[in-house]
Structure 1
Amino acid sequence: MKTPKPLVAAIAAGAALTLTACGAPSGGGGTSSGGDGKPRIVWDMWAAGESDVDALEAQLAIAQEENPDVDIQLQHAPWNDYFTKLTTNLASGNVACVTSMNGQRLSGYYEAFMPLTAEDLATAGIDEADFTEGSLDIMSYDGQLYGLPYDVAAMMVYYNKDMFAETGTAEPEAGWSFDDFDAAVAGATTDAHPGFGMGMGEFQWMSLPIARSGTQPVDESGALALTDPDFVEASEWYAAIAEDGYGSLPPSASDTGWGEQEYQAGNVAMAVDGTWNAVSYLNNEAGFEAGMVDLPQQGGERLGLILGSGYGISADCEDKEAALKVLGSLVGEAAQDQIASSGRSYPARIDSQPLYFESLEEGVRDEVQAAFDATFTGLEGQRSTPDWAQVNEAIQPQLVSVYTGQTTIADVLEQAQQQFGE
């Protein structure tokens, strides 16, 4: 595996960008105080709009109530800006003491965070046993814990029950096989609509090949393994969905959310997406009845990845104890209950998870819980390389050419392996 470049060297080019997010309070790792002399801890998070900000402020209120001797300040930026500004802040040493991190991006930012010890978890009031099995992998890199997860997610297959009924296609059930998936795609395809929305995002297209092959595209040593024969074969199977006429084809590489958008609009019978969109699909504006099921199995086995996001303490935070207490509150019982009750996220804390299902309409509650129970079984943490984001940025624009038969997925994977592998 390539040796990671020091973060400061890798990000220096972005140092001229704005350092503070969206008019929120500035604050880096250095200790600062509010007007009342309390230590000030800045919490940095992404937010897409007013509803996201309202949800964050509700969690902030909980953390503030639990830590009256600390002045907690929230700063936020839209998702597309958040990591750009985080990269810039790294170059200037201005990273917020409590910084949010998407687990799939941690490999490129782990040096920004303090490693967390058992003593740190005790200070934060955290018991690892309170969290979903495997969820601590979300904020771990190379065997070291750098933060704590606030939510967990996994990929699943969403399907349009109305289209299945119209075509007389049997609805998928938990534990279904890839043979069942093939039959469902073919059966649900009509002249009016394809059976499947071809994915363009990392997990929207990779999840089925990973599940089918039982292989991650990064091996256990952390080396890029895009050309693993089993993964290549499974990726070729996935690309053939489009080749065989069962897939809705994105018009351009810029349509990064193509498969999910086609499903949401009621244009395809199935698509792969994360559990984080379950509520959105249940309440889709197209008016169809949505269903969901775990990824298919191959030979009675299925490999799925546990995904999610969390919070860590910046490496240059001077008031580590105060930051740990704030971190503990943000992933504590009250904050996790708030996340779950809103239905916005599936919490990492086990005891809070039933509240997520209670937030749903009674008519779908049991069905969604059964699908989640199946989906969150037998998962493992995602392995990634320090330049994993760049790997996916290289592959994604070429997927349209793969789906339209202008190139092969094997060639695309080989090129990326040569560029980013050993």
Structure 2
Amino acid sequence: MKFKKTMAVSATAALALSLAACGSDDKGGNEGTGSGSGEKAQITWDMWAGSDDDIAALEATLKIAQEENPDIDIKLQHAPWNDYFTKLTANLSSGKAACVTSMNGQRLSGYADAFMELTPEDMATAGIKESDFTAGSLDIMSSGGKVLGIPYDVATMMVFYNKDQIEKTGAPAPKLGWTKADMEATLAKAGDDKMKAFGMGMAEFQWLALPISVSGVQPVTADGKLDLTNPAFVDAATWYGSFVEKGWADQAPSASETGWGESEYQAGNAALAVDGTWNAVSYLNNESGFKAGMVDLPAGDSGKNLGLVLGSGYGIAKNCENKEAALKVLGSLVGKAAQDSMASSGRSYPARVESQPLYFEALDASVRDEVKGAFDAAFANVAGQNTNAEWTKISETFPNNLVSVYTGATSMADMLKATQDQFAK
């Protein structure tokens, strides 16, 4: 995911990339390919950053990587999230992608051809092994059965709730391992004349999470075929869309407000909302002053839930001229020191297993055990996201289409069928 995601951004952490031309000091040439005439190898690392805090965090990681690789001159370049992808496309067309290129896992399928496949031998050169990372997390940076990068963080979706509002209304409190029926019972009582029960999601994972969880079906099959009209998924998505009709939620005012549901929760206008683990710390420290809780996604009629393991990572560009040096830099960026630093700051949940306890140690002792329990439950039944080359375009159509559904202009089933007909091949 991105460093320090905002409420208006989907995890798409994700997080959801800046290349040789991305930095303000870009000088052209092929610096990003890892060539250099001096004694030191030169490797460029490109990453997104949206604030001074983001940049400071990247520079701290750069310092660690540089200290671990004194024989390599590592250059960090960065750009804001949206600019990163725009420049990525431009640089790929000219063969100037940075040797170490950051990539959001949910966008990887559209850029897969830009990355080298990483073999076990490559990982050994980088000083890492698959078992260092959360089970299944290499799926984040895999496409077409090939590992194209190594994740630096992992995330999944959860239900966040306002403990004060739940206590005030007497609604059943969300509990780990809860079900669709349990959630309905909570939503039916959690709202009042000052606060809606739920903040409706508009962004990709914020609205897809509940339909996927209760149906056990992803909208894309494992072999990349669009499956929006799968009956189980349609039923679950229709259930989710009914929250507005039942009076549990307000409709988003416009498609441009993609972070509507999360923002309503953050502002104290909705008792529950779905969002990613990357925003857990932000909600715990919310400016509205309410006590925040979090639980895993509810299970469907089968008694099981399904979540997606999300995140971002680093890959080696195919045009890189010094693969060995690039692998060493990549290894440091996902190494123990860098992952420990990220976890201790509370900015992201690290992909490296041995660093994960530090994330919870950074939290206030009063919520530490609760958050760890919620994270453990949320990650207990996750799968890698199925995507295809069209998925980014498909997900970008959802906000406009969801407005039509939430206002009653069209049904969820008709919207999903129209999208399926538009993009299925």
TM-score normalised according to structure 1 size:
0.94
Q: 1:174 aligns with which of 173, 176, 185?
A: 176
CA gap of 1:28–1:385, structure 2 versus 1, over 3 A, is: farther
1:29 shift after superposition:
4.5
How is 1:130-209 mapped onto 2 (pairs within 5 angstroms)? 130-209=132-211
Deviation for aligned residue 1:267:
0.6
SS at match of 1:32: coil
Residues 21-420 of structure 1: pairs in structure 2 closer than 5 A: 21-25=22-26, 28-33=31-36, 36-298=38-300, 299-420=302-423
Do 1:28 and 1:93's aligned partners in 2 also have CA atoms closer than 8 Å?
no
CA contact (8 A) 1:43 1:74 kept: yes
Provide the rounded CA distance (Å) in 2 between the counterparts of 1:203 and 1:306: 11
Matched residue type, 2:344: S
Equivalent position SS for 2:88 = helix
CA contact (8 A) 2:296 2:374 kept: yes
CA shift at 1:384, angstroms? 0.2
Contact map agreement 1:29 1:315 (CA 8 A) in 2:
no
* C-alpha distance in 2 between matches for 1:348 and 1:47: 19
The one-letter amino acid of 2:388's match is: T
Does the 8 Å contact 1:103/1:307 carry over to 2? yes
Give 1:7's aligned residue: none
Equivalent residue letter for 1:413: L
**Deviation digits for residues 48-83 of structure 1, max 9, x if unmatched?**
111001100111011001100000000000112111
- Given that 1:395 and 1:413 are in contact with CA atoms closer than 8 Å, whether structure 2 keeps it comes out as no
**Could you tell me how far apart the structure 1 residues matched to 2:250 and 2:56 are?**
36
Give the distance between the partners of 2:59 and 2:213, measured in 1 at CA: 38
Identity %: 61
In 2, the alpha carbon distance for the partners of 1:80 and 1:199 equals: 21
In 2, the alpha carbon distance for the partners of 1:122 and 1:24 equals 33
Alpha-carbon RMSD: 1.4
Whole-angstrom distance in 2 between the partners of 1:409 and 1:44:
39
1:43 is paired with a residue of what secondary structure?
strand
* Corresponding residue number in structure 2 for 1:6: none
Comparing 304-313 and 17-26, the one that deviates more: 17-26
Give the Cα separation in 2 of the matches to 1:19 and 1:81: 13
C-alpha contact 2:202 2:398 (8 A) present in aligned 1: no
Mapped to 2, the partners of 1:57 and 1:97 lie a distance apart of 18
Partner SS for 1:279: helix
Give secondary structure in 2 for the equivalent of 1:114.
coil
Question: Distance in 1 between the 2:185 and 2:25 partners?
Answer: 51
Q: Deviations over 1:344-365 (max 9, x none)?
A: 0000000000000001111111
Q: Compared with structure 1, are the counterparts of its residues 167 and 24 closer, same or farther at alpha carbon in structure 2 (3 Å cutoff)? A: farther
Deviates more, 1:316-325 or 1:400-409: 400-409
Q: Which runs of 5+ in 2 are unaligned?
A: 1-17
Distance 1:127 1:277 in 2: 28
Deviation at 1:396, TM superposition (A): 2.1
Deviations 1:374-407 (A, max 9, x none): 0010111000011100011122211111011111
SS at the partner of 1:151? strand
Q: Which amino acid aligns with 1:21?
A: C
How far apart, in 2, do the equivalents of 1:413 and 1:204 lie? Answer: 17
Aligned letter for 2:360? F
Secondary structure of 2:46's counterpart equals strand
Which residue identity is paired with 1:43?
W
Which letter maps to 1:218?
V
For 2:248 and 2:276, the matched residues in 1 are separated by 21
How far is the alpha carbon of 1:149 from its aligned partner? 0.2
8 A Cα contact 2:19 2:97, kept in partner:
no
Instruction: Call closer, same or farther: CA 1:419–1:19 in 2, change over 3 Å.
Output: farther
For residues 253 and 376 of structure 2, what CA distance do their matches in structure 1 show?
35
